[in-house]
């Protein structure tokens, strides 16, 4: 019988052929010293250099090193998602392939999950070796995310994180949502989220793969994940609520215009303007149309949600005395 794995280490890699051999040797030295049963899953995110060839060479020497190759570059979130699906360790640790994350942090992260009971532990690169053009926007981004999400982390985007296996098997990371994994985990019901100050090392090989556009994308992704997390199961509450408000606003303006015309139509008063000649009428008409459209959008979203298979499976945390073939998800 195979020994259960203590650790799965997931490493997204994009054009990192120079750093991978040294990084894997470092990881192997640390986990061997602490007698961890482990696997390292390197996800080659469509690299255009020799990254996959290096992964093959490392894997031939050490069977604990596993590789997954994408046909093209899909991004870090896709790489993490695939790595999470393949991970078998009791604790899953993610780190970047550029050697700016130190494998020496692995034992402490493992202990925080297994002994202190955290669902997720995020690294905090308190002292960074990045230019100000990167650190200042990063601090602003983290402050906004901390305020909006209510999660008191200092470094949401740190690649060095540790998870209980149940966490990574219960969440889906897509688009560029890897920055918000703590928030995704919180929405999934995993609320014991911790933080650890970790070493940030200067980049030794290559250059960064991220540009300034990531901050714009990050803000849009934050809005998206907040909407999905809050209204995923009740889209009518969002679209219908705004639609009802817009419709009532249009109806209220229309009622005011009609009432005004009625009052001013009394004998002896100057003839009032027609309702349709007033700019407020067109504002009321627009609000009523938009309100109707939003309400219908919410209705259609509810219909789509109702027809989705296994739509409530993610609600289940554990089962007792159910066979694997039993379906206890509510419809």
Q: Give DSSP secondary structure letters for 150-212.
A: ----S-TT-S-EEEEHHHHHH----TTGGGGHHHHHHHTT---EEEEE--BPPP-SS-----T
CA–CA gap between residue 71 and residue 91 (Å, rounded): 28
184, 176, 77, 34: which is closest to 120 by C-alpha?
Answer: 184
Q: Which pTM value belongs to this model?
A: 0.71
Least confident of 98-112, 175-189, 203-217, 250-264: 203-217
Q: What phi and psi values does residue 76 have, to the nearest 5 degrees?
A: -65, -40
Look at residue 54 and tell me whether its pLDDT is greater than 60.
yes
pLDDT at residue 125 in the model: 86
Write down the residue that tokens 């949401």 correspond to: 156
How large is the average pLDDT for residues 99-119?
Answer: 94
- Give pLDDT tens digits for 141-199: 788 888 877 888 988 888 899 999 999 999 888 777 888 899 889 888 898 999 999 98
How large is the average pLDDT for residues 77-98?
Answer: 93
How large is the average pLDDT for residues 67-95?
Answer: 92
Least confident of 131-140, 184-193, 199-208, 308-317: 308-317
Q: How confident is the model at residue 312 (pLDDT cuts 50, 70, 90)?
A: very low
Residue 280, phi-psi category: left (phi > 0), alpha (psi -120 to 50), beta (remainder): alpha
pLDDT at residue 55 in the model: 93
pLDDT at residue 122 in the model: 94
Share of the chain above pLDDT 70, in %: 79
Higher pLDDT, 306 or 199: 199
Look at residue 115 and tell me whether its pLDDT is greater than 50.
yes
CB distance 51 to 16 below 8 Å: yes
Look at residue 207 and tell me whether its pLDDT is greater than 70.
no
Least confident of 82-91, 114-123, 181-190, 292-301: 292-301
- Neighbour tally for 243: CB within 10 Å: 21
How large is the average pLDDT for residues 46-55?
Answer: 91
Q: What are the Cα distances from residue 219, in Å, to 118, 140, 151? A: 27, 11, 16
Kindly give, in sequence order, each residue whose CB lies less than 8 Å from that of residue 315, ignoring residues fewer than 6 positions away. 329
- Give pLDDT tens digits for 244-290: 898 889 888 888 888 887 777 777 667 767 777 788 888 888 988 99
Q: What phi and psi values does residue 177 have, to the nearest 5 degrees?
A: -80, 5
pLDDT at residue 1 in the model: 44
CA–CA gap between residue 21 and residue 52 (Å, rounded): 12
Burial of 301 (C-beta count, 10 Å sphere; 0-12/13-18/19+): middle
122-188-321 Cα angle (round to 5) = 115
Share of the chain above pLDDT 90, in %: 35
CB distance 200 to 99 below 8 Å: no
pLDDT at residue 330 in the model: 42
Look at residue 228 and tell me whether its pLDDT is greater than 70.
no
CA–CA gap between residue 233 and residue 202 (Å, rounded): 44
How large is the average pLDDT for residues 101-129?
Answer: 91
């Amino acid at each position: 019988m195979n020994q259960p794995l203590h650790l799965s280490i997931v490493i997204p890699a994009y054009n990192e052929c120079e750093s991978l051999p040294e990084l894997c040797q470092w990881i192997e030295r640390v986990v061997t010293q602490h007698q961890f049963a482990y696997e390292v899953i390197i996800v080659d995110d469509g690299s255009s250099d020799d990254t996959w060839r290096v992964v093959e060479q490392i894997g031939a020497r050490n069977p604990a090193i596993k590789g997954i190759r994408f046909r093209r570059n899909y991004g870090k979130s896709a790489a993490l998602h695939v790595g999470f699906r393949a991970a078998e360790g009791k604790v899953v640790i993610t780190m970047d392939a550029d050697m700016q994350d130190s494998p020496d942090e692995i034992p402490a992260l493992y202990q925080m999950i297994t002994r202190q009971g955290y669902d997720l532990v995020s690294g905090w690169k308190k002292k960074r070796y990045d230019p100000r053009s990167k650190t200042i926007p990063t601090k602003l981004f983290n402050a906004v995310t901390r305020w909006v999400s209510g999660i008191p982390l200092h470094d949401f985007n740190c690649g060095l994180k540790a998870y209980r296996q149940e966490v990574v098997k219960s969440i889906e990371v897509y688009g560029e949502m890897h920055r918000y994994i703590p928030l995704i985990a919180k929405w999934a019901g995993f609320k014991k989220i911790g933080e650890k100050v970790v070493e940030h090392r200067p980049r030794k090989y290559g250059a960064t793969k991220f540009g300034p556009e990531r901050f714009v994308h990050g803000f849009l992704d934050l809005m998206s994940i907040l909407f999905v997390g809050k209204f995923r199961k009740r889209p009518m509450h969002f679209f219908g609520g705004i639609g009802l408000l817009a419709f009532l606003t249009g109806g209220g303006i229309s009622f005011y215009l009609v009432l005004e015309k009625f009052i001013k139509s009394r004998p002896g008063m100057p003839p009032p303007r027609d309702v349709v000649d007033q700019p407020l009428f067109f504002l009321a008409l627009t609000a009523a149309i938009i309100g109707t459209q939003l309400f219908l959008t919410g209705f259609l979203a509810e219909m789509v949600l109702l027809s989705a298979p296994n739509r409530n499976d993610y609600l289940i945390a554990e089962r007792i005395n159910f066979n694997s073939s039993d379906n206890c998800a509510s419809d």
